[in-house]
A and B are shown apart, each in its own frame.
Chain A
Amino acid sequence: MSGRSFIRVLVAKPGLDGHDRGAKIVARALRDAGMEVIYTGLRQTPEQIVEAALQEDVDVVALSCLSGAHNYSFPRVVELLRQQGGADILVLGGGVIPEEDIPALKQSGVKEIFTPGTTIQAIVEFIRAHAIQR
């Protein structure tokens, strides 16, 4: 563990989806819970997200997608992180994601998927339990 006492999180919106209410609420709540949060804004490619994650030296990448493109973008982020030396970064996903897609997403390396109705508290606790501080 490094000397940093807080967890650093990148909240990212992959793809063309403009629904950012959830991403912004999560970002703000994680900040209120004492984490350091960077929000990418809309329309990020997996390449841009991974570049930002490595540059910002984050412990967690939290992806939000409500457009149905999660099966493409989430695994792609994990894959690029592994290729570029970010294999230990915790990757989480959230949004309108059908239950039946979740096993394959987890298999690809997304640690957890949070669907509608999830409490902020549950997300905070999950990150605290699973993030490896760099």
Chain B
Amino acid sequence: MEEKKPSERKRSFKNTSNIEIKRVYTARDVTSDDSAMGLPGEYPFTRGVQPTMYRGRFWTMRQYAGMASAEESNARYRYLLEQGQTGLSVAFDLPTQIGYDSDHSLAQGEVGKVGVAIDSLEDMEVLLGGIPLDKVSTSMTINAPAVVLLAMYIAVAEKQGVPLAKLNGTIQNDILKEYAARGTYIFPPVQSMRLITDIFAFCSEQVPEWNTISISGYHIREAGSSAVQEVAFTLSNGIAYVQAALDAGLRVDEFAPRLSFFFNSHVDFFEEIAKFRAARRLWAKIMTERFGAQNPRSQMLRFHTQTGGSTLTAQQPDNNIIRITLQALAAVLGGTQSLHTNSRDEALALPTEESVRIALRTQQIIAFESGVADVVDPLGGSYYIENLTSSIERAAAEQIARIDAHGGAVKAIERGVMQRDIQDSAYAWQQQVESKERVVVGVNLFQIRESAPRGLERIDASVGERQKARLAALKSRRDNAKVQAALASLTQTAASNDNLMPAVLEAVRTYATLGEICDCLRRVFGEYRPEATLT
């Protein structure tokens, strides 16, 4: 008699990457090649980049924050540091991210909304006031004009008397994912890549502890990609930056130790843990086998994680605390170097101070109470996790080969390859939600009648006018002859092959504004204008 198949909830079980999940995993599902796993702190770093991981010190708890003016953001940073946060993460408003001053016509309605407005060194001095830059590490989410904001940060450090060798932090500086998924580009790809390699070269000599780029899968995932696509496109972008730096004459072990990464932590708990492990192993192999990196630090994929913003629901927002907890736990079990936990109310508005505190406490409870930080890579050796790590690595390697076949990440993005793949995945996800094949608690199942949430954070509508007034006052007070001379010299350097960083630094010191500096570069470099693509 044929044995009856026991019934299960679904006909097949799949994760976000469409990898089929078996009922149970056994020793037969794990490769016998122990070297693929290795030990923490050893090549290929599957189990972590350091031998001690969180037994040495916890991940950096780094909440992304910034809103309205420099004064208001400075107050939030000091609050977070008082609450036990261990690093800063600066959110800039959209005009700043796209290189416009607050008085530009395209900045209308956007000043201070999704982050802090920074027009000049004057704003940066206020933003970082009372924060010791030799003790606090700062991450800045800035891409197209990263060279300008880094110069402003350096100029503030000079004023504080902090030697550049002691500056520690990160600029995102990842333009490729801006074209592919996030949207804050300014210049065309070739000129943007030159800005990035100029920063690599300058920092390797002058600011040796600075993470010169944070190669980001986060936004690719937020735009709708699967976990495998997130790994594949991020590492493909990483390959393009390494190649660009080599083409610019840098040596791999000079700049590669300062490359860092940024990933999402999404809803599928085990898939995410395996994703982080797979990304580490794959990058170690790429750096060694493709680029001949010798320094172990060049082979290590160090990364920041943020919990998945697009997984938050506007419905029953307190449920988001639980989602964020699971995602944060996955990031920690996956060996992240730093972590941002989202706040429960972010599908509705910028988070309130109370919501941000709960998000930070979530990390502190995981770190100090749960015990998960007392042992390194506790899931290493699990049949399922090891199998899934290998599956994700293999699938991502196939996608990277596909991008290579298009001529690399820059070409693939110019042809819209990544964008189309991401859109297709986003659309499929939405269809699964609509058909209830994918359950989102409180949205398509277990709904309740709710009244509108109260007490959301609001940005003072006057911030745009205040910022414009400050800018006008600055322009009448500063030495405009010096500003013009610095901008002229910057324009000349932009048209040459010399490193742009010193000229930008000089312009920033004269209180030339972000918009003035970016306009000089726009005139020399031109602007990127994509076709609007729909698949």
Measuring CB to CB, which residues of chain A are less than 8 angstroms from any residue of chain B?
A: 15-21, 24-25, 27-29, 31, 37, 39-43, 45, 67-69, 71-73, 96, 98-100, 115-117, 119-121
Q: Collect the chain A residues with CB atoms within 8 Å of residue B267's CB.
A: none
**Among candidates A25, A43, A98, residue contacting B426 with C-beta atoms closer than 8 Å:** A25
Cβ A117 vs Cβ B427 within 8 A: no
Q: How far is the CB of B186 from chain A (nearest CB, A)?
A: 11
Chain A residue at smallest Cβ distance from B105: A45
Q: List residues of B (106-122) whose CB comes within 8 Å of A's CBs.
A: 106-110, 113-114
Q: Collect the chain B residues with CB atoms within 8 Å of residue A121's CB.
A: 434
- 30 inter-chain pairs at a CB distance below 8 angstroms, sorted by A residue, are A15-B94, A16-B97, A16-B98, A18-B94, A20-B223, A25-B427, A25-B430, A27-B534, A29-B430, A31-B534, A37-B534, A39-B532, A39-B534, A40-B532, A41-B530, A42-B530, A43-B106, A45-B105, A45-B106, A67-B94, A67-B113, A68-B113, A68-B350, A68-B459, A69-B109, A73-B109, A99-B452, A99-B453, A100-B452, A119-B434
B535 proximal to A (CB < 8 A): yes
Cβ B109 vs Cβ A71 within 8 A: yes
Given contacts A17-B183, A24-B423, A24-B426, 9 further A-B contacts (CB under 8 A): A15-B94, A16-B94, A18-B178, A18-B184, A28-B534, A28-B535, A29-B430, A96-B348, A116-B347
Give the 6 A-B residue pairs with the shortest CB-CB distance, closest first. Answer: A18-B183, A72-B109, A41-B532, A99-B452, A69-B109, A16-B94
Q: Collect the chain A residues with CB atoms within 8 Å of residue B224's CB.
A: 21
Q: List residues of B (444-490) whose CB comes within 8 Å of A's CBs.
A: 452-453, 456, 458-459
B308 proximal to A (CB < 8 A): no
Q: How far is the CB of B349 from chain A (nearest CB, A)?
A: 5
Cβ A98 vs Cβ B114 within 8 A: no
Cβ A21 vs Cβ B349 within 8 A: no
Q: Collect the chain B residues with CB atoms within 8 Å of residue A17's CB.
A: 94, 110, 114, 183
Cα separation A43 to B426 with both chains bound (whole Å):
21
Most interface-central of B100, B310, B430, B459 (chain A CB within 10 A) = B430
Q: How far is the CB of A12 from chain B (nearest CB, A)?
A: 10
B354 proximal to A (CB < 8 A): no
Cα separation A67 to B94 with both chains bound (whole Å):
8
Cα separation A71 to B109 with both chains bound (whole Å):
8
Most interface-central of A16, A28, A69, A73 (chain B CB within 10 A) = A16
Q: How far is the CB of B430 from chain A (nearest CB, A)?
A: 5
Chain A residue at smallest Cβ distance from B419: A24
Q: Collect the chain B residues with CB atoms within 8 Å of residue A67's CB.
A: 94, 110, 113-114
**Among candidates B107, B182, B453, B531, residue contacting A18 with C-beta atoms closer than 8 Å:** B182
Q: How far is the CB of B488 from chain A (nearest CB, A)?
A: 28
Q: Collect the chain B residues with CB atoms within 8 Å of residue A69's CB.
A: 108-110, 113
Cβ B310 vs Cβ A21 within 8 A: yes
Q: Collect the chain A residues with CB atoms within 8 Å of residue B430's CB.
A: 25, 29, 120
Cα separation A34 to B106 with both chains bound (whole Å):
34
Cβ B182 vs Cβ A16 within 8 A: no
Cβ B94 vs Cβ A21 within 8 A: no
B314 proximal to A (CB < 8 A): yes
Most interface-central of A20, A31, A115 (chain B CB within 10 A) = A20
Q: Collect the chain B residues with CB atoms within 8 Å of residue A45's CB.
A: 105-106
Task: Report B387-429 CB contacts with A as 1/0, cut-off 8 Å.
Answer: 0000000000000000000000000000000000001001100
Q: Collect the chain A residues with CB atoms within 8 Å of residue B95's CB.
A: 16
Cβ B110 vs Cβ A16 within 8 A: yes
Q: Collect the chain A residues with CB atoms within 8 Å of residue B107's CB.
A: 16
B173 proximal to A (CB < 8 A): no
Q: How far is the CB of A4 from chain B (nearest CB, A)?
A: 20
